[in-house]
Amino acid sequence: MSRVEGLRANSSQFTLERKPFHILGGSIHYFRVPRGYWEDRLLKMKACGLNTLTTYVPWNLHEPERGVFNFEDQLDLEAYLRLAASLGLWVILRPGPYICAEWDLGGLPSWLLRDQNMKLRTTYPGFTAAVNSFFNQLMKKVVPHQYSKGGPIIAVQVENEYGSFAKDEDYMPFMKEALLSRGITELLLTSDNREGLKRGGVKGALETINFQKLNPNDIKYLDGIQPNKPKLVMEYWSGWFDLWGDLHHVYTAEDMIPVVTEILKLDMSINLYMFHGGTNFGFMSGAFAVGIPAPKPMVTSYDYDAPLSEAGDYTTKYHLLRNLFSHYHAQPLPELPSHQERRAYQPVVIHQHLSLWDSLHFTDKSERPVNMENLPVNNNNGQSYGYTLYETTITSEGTLNSKNNIRDRALVFVDKHFVGVLDYKTQELALPDGKGKRTLSLLVENCGRVNYGKTLDDQRKGTSLCNVFSFYRLESSGHWMSMRQRPSFPGFFQARLYVNSFPKDTFIKLPGWSKGVVFINGKNLGRYWSIGPQQTLYVPGPWLHKGDNEVIVFEEQETDGKIQFASSPDYGMTVDVQ
């Protein structure tokens, strides 16, 4: 079709090609879904009656080291945009640089924190220079996929929920200009909750609202600040995220469908956040710190109780939404794509192990104590994620007091014997009696940086307990031992999963293990932790192959020597979203 005019917000209804247009949108983040399943998930979105895909762009994955950019494989944003276009989906792009998204540091790269004066999400020169450098690369990829150039992008969001942060009145104008000056010509939006609407807008961008429960006063307020403009619920929260040590949040279809029905009746547009949540693979989940005494880390699953489950299954919500959205289409909706088969593979037995202590000579080392972000590793970009080991010599017993300087959690050892855990709750440990010089080791885990709220600048990880510590970066290599020799902890544990046919999705279960990380064929599936709620880790079929698959578990404290598999997930005891 020849394209005359893209998405416009000049009256109380959106228009596309000068015809009334209803945004029926849903969020699916390419970085939370294995690339092999992008098409499956987007086809299921289309079959549900949605016409618009929204996605964030995670700066921390695309620029893992300053000046080093990655837009390949799992991060091939252009391939994702082309796929959406080929399936007839429009795209609203939310390029950040800050995305929240329950993602580590809201998607901002941790190397920004090497600058001790850094002020994130402001016009502080160190921040704007980094944003400009990233946007120079990102926008080259984005601009050709705009509607006016024949692509699927009909709108671009300026930053994200700035109204609830709002530390610098010059920041949003800077961010808007960062888009315009690099060739963004489509409709600009901002996105805020009701409170944030007061301070999150920027002249020339349509303001949109985020919520779960419909409050008529909020809609009135939006109308008041923006009369005769179309209304879009940019984030209609279809569920909620989970925190380690809490319960699994569910938001029932009976609660959700009437609200979505009402939104559509009011002739508003909608974007379901999330339509399909996916997974926080690796060390990417953020932490929550609003209204609680200390940050709480988010779980690995980002199922979100969304209409399409973590593994891409249809849910009750999905079928009810499909029925509802079908009334907004002149043609019948596409047939449902077939359901992915899954397998509960037979349990596998750990056949060898490697103690953390035996792997240290393969690691990087620093003689002075600095936080993770300032470690002299990764071409001086610091260490972004995972664990860091701090060591010093002690000559007396007594009490170790962290003075709450551990970020976020440390396993404490004296001469490699486990003494206890220091975290936000436990800040004192009695050290065992002993004579002479002994080695005090603290294995400090970054459990995830806060992704929302006013404390972003304070998310440096590690500790500064003592000024003679050495630092290490952990890598698994070295002399593996058979399980006939008793393992020591923490340690790496290796098994082989043999797959005799076309690989299917599965879920890993680790009863009898306490806390750690699982790798399959070198890919980091994420963290597990016996405190729950989540009790299984999603293993995508495309990450397995026929024959032997290598499974490595890094475990902190205990193992029962085997890895189990299930054909369905266990997210733990549930609680309704309040």
Q: Which distant-in-sequence residues (6+ apart) come within 8 Å of 2 by Cβ?
A: none
- Rounded CA-CA distance 192/225 in Å is 13
What CA–CA distances, in Å, run from 505 to 101, 190, 311, 314, 556?
A: 25, 37, 8, 15, 27
- Rounded CA-CA distance 313/425 in Å is 38
* Helices and strands, counts by H and E, the chain: 8, 32
Question: Would you say 534 and 301 are in contact if contact means Cβ atoms under 8 Å apart?
Answer: yes
What CA–CA distances, in Å, run from 26 to 102, 108, 211, 519?
A: 17, 23, 14, 30
Q: Is-catalytic flag, 63?
A: no
Amino acid at 494: Q
Taken in order 443, 278, 314, 244, is the CA torsion positive or negative? Answer: positive
Q: How would you classify the pairing of strands 206-211 and 187-192?
A: parallel
- What residues does 178 pair with on adjacent strands? none
Q: Does the N-terminal peptide bond of residue 97 adopt cis geometry, omega within 30 degrees of 0?
A: yes
Helices 38-47 and 77-86: crossing angle in degrees, nearest 10, is: 40
Point out the catalytic residue in the list 102, 207, 235, 373: 235
Amino acid at 283: F
Q: Which distant-in-sequence residues (6+ apart) come within 8 Å of 312 by Cβ?
A: 37, 40, 41, 44, 276, 340
The helix/strand/coil state of 337 is coil
Point out the catalytic residue in the list 161, 207, 373, 445: 161
Q: How many CB atoms lie within 10 A of CB 360?
A: 18
Q: Is-catalytic flag, 397?
A: no
The token duo for 280 is 């926080």
Amino acid at 201: G
Q: Is 292 exposed, middle or buried (0-12, 13-18, 19+ CB in 10 A)?
A: exposed
- Rounded CA-CA distance 396/27 in Å is 56
Catalytic residues: 161, 235
